[in-house]
Amino acid sequence: MRTFNLSRRAVLAGSAGAAALTALPVGQVRAHAAEGAASSYRWRNVFIGGTGFVTGVLFHPSVRGLAYARTDIGGAYRWDSGAAAWIPLTDHLGWDDWNLLGVEAIAVDPAHPDRVYLALGTYAQSWASNGAVLRSDDRGATWARTDLTVKLGGNEDGRGTGERLLVDPRDSDTLWLGTRHDGLLKSTDRGATWAAATGFPGTPSASGQGVTLLVAVGRTLYAGWGDSDGSAANLFRTADGTIWQAVPGQPSGAVAKVPIRAAYDRFTRELYVTYANAPGPNGQSDGSVHKLCTADGKWTDVTPVKPGGTTSDGSADSFGYGGVAVDARRPGTLVVSTNNRWAAVDTVFRSTDGGRHWTSLKDSAVLDVSETPYLKWGADAPKFGWWIQALALDPYDSRHVVYGTGATLYGTRDLKHWAPQIRGMEETSVRQLISPPAGEAHLISGSGDIGVMYHERLTASPSRGMATNPVFGTATGLAQAARKPAYVVRSGWGDHGNGAYSNDGGQTWAPFAAQPSLAKDAPGPIATNADGSVLLWVFAHWDGTKYPAHRSTDDGATWTEISSFPKGATPVADPADPTLFYAYDTDTGTLLASTDSGLTFTERATGLPSGDAQFELVAAPGRSGDLWLSVKGNGLYRSTDGGATFSKVASCWASYTLGFGKAADGADYPAIYLVGSTESITAVYRSDDEAKTWVRINDDRHQWGWTGEVITGDPRVYGRVYLATNGRGIQYGEPV
């Protein structure tokens, strides 16, 4: 998964400092149980299927059918073989812990099958919180937590390397954790406390990768180091946990600059290591695969295909190597994956003779994406994959191979037929939600990376896949005409246009016949008035630059700049009167309105909270001039006169996003849904009495980190609410 609303792009972080490497004392370790307060709501994912970067998959070596998976922003999962589904393990992490939804590494204890450990931390930037380690004795049903004093980077460059967390094979109480900027850490009390490991030779770099992998070879530990320039050692080992030395004879140069992953064949006593000239998943253009015979120290180059050739169309065939896994049942049998191979498309290679000969499994692969049609990305057939760094081979089934991509997890049971194995796993970063008042679908969504989708059913991936004509990567705007719900418009980042409209409720689309030149590089939110006769399109670059809004009255065939519209504001259409639009200027704290269908805007209310571009203005359905303004920690404001005056809502002290749904029986006002604070915590609430009182409808087990993007109720089903998350897809709740 590649995008994030709060600066989700991975950037280089400064050093967290080497002076504070000890975790919180045992007395300050916080325990988090999966059980929370009783809730009257049942929460489930709207099913899309995968939708994000799976960065690691780990089969338990001593328990058939037990596996774990990690993602870059969507938490960790355990495979339930009986249900053939993934069970989310970190949904209990709340609003203040949003940075812990990125999983840096997973570790299991071969000697104690119920033990599992997670190293959490999405960003290593100065503005991000420190990382944490979770430990469980019941396969993730409940957790104990230790907060670290260093930062981890589950969504940084290099997030597909590893694992960086390891249980010492000589002592189950001892754990090792490789960090990006603070060297190697060690715990002797099963992760309760941590300190810097003595004697480790790696020198941390503020812009480097630090420890990229930890793997056990018998009783010897190996550690990959990502901060070498390719000429110095980047693979170390220790036999006693104290003295670390560079592995003699290791490969060097650009093809072996960064050790990505490693796997040990206990039958042949050979350690296989994949390398690349960059940590990935992007930026790799060279790499190799080598094996080390641990019995005699001999290294052998077993690279399946050397990067650097050309494809049939003359494109450069540049790539690195990513995942590697060995067969626990067959000596000399292993799989490795290419990574960042865009021209020829990434593949998984398999060898049955220790790397002397290889077969590309992509060449004979039959991909079945019928369960998740979006994986076609608007094309006739899906790709075998990209960003393949997570690769695993079932220790109890030699023909069961799985690999992660930037959007899903593929698996096979016969080395030929592949299908997504992602039921229960949802990682979408969701940006827009519409619940139509009529029609087949109860939900239309807009997301990062996977565009807009029309959800005929909440329990099945949309049959049309991603909206096409054009296909978007990330959606930036989605709107429906309140009095003409068949009319829907969308905007976003696309290669063949940045806007489209639909006359059948979002089932099929037509691109705008023309678009302002700004649309290609700065597509922003879009709105349509109540009868669908007018479009307002706002343009804003990802770097924060704001541009004038444009208006169209002919489905996007022609556009006119609206100079009186506040740059960067999100237009809001009045749901009852087609002549009315509203906009909130967050720079000045001013509400503006248009009474001529968006031709001109004039100030109405001033002196409101300002300074945050993510303040949200929402119009109550079916009512003219009934506006609600969420201003985060400044609370919630309401206007019933079209924005001329606002009054602060006394019942909540923080409001991040707000939406409406069908009214309760006997109520004359829609149900209101809120992500905000009416008490000490940020949670999800519903009000049936115009925000006079609220009831919390999520619970401590269902929090999903950061949820402040959008929430909306269903106008046809009382109590049903749809909630956007940043990494756990679309959650929907219904009263039990």
Among all residues, which ones are annotated catalytic?
Answer: 72, 449
Assigned token pair, 652 = 């909540």
- Nearest in space to 234 (alpha carbons), one of 225, 222, 244: 225
Residue type, 259: P
CA–CA distances in Å: residue 137 to residues 109, 115, 141, 170, 239: 10, 5, 8, 19, 28
d(CA 399, CA 329): 11
DSSP class of residue 228 equals: -
Distance separating alpha carbons of residues 523 and 387, to the nearest angstrom: 26
**Of the candidates 323, 330, 322, 425, the residue with the CA atom closest to the CA atom of residue 372:** 425
Contacts of 185 (CB under 8 A, 6+ apart): 21, 148, 150, 176, 177, 178, 179, 194, 195, 196, 197
Token look-up 């969701």 returns 430
Burial of 422 (0-12, 13-18, 19+ CB in 10 A): buried
Is residue 155 within 8 A of residue 8, CB to CB? The reply is yes
169/147 Cα distance (integer angstroms): 24
SS3 content of the chain, % helix, strand, coil (to 5): 5, 40, 55
Within a 10 A sphere around the Cβ of 375, how many other Cβ atoms?
Answer: 27
Establish how many alpha carbons lie within 13 A of residue 101's alpha carbon, considering only the half-sphere containing its beta carbon.
31
* Partners of 492 in beta bridges: 475
Report residue 566 CA to chain centroid gap.
31
Gap between the Cα atoms of 332 and 163, Å rounded: 22
589 vs 612: CA distance, rounded Å? 9
Neighbour-count burial for 583-599, b at 16+ CB within 10 Å, e otherwise: bbbbeebbbbbbeebbb
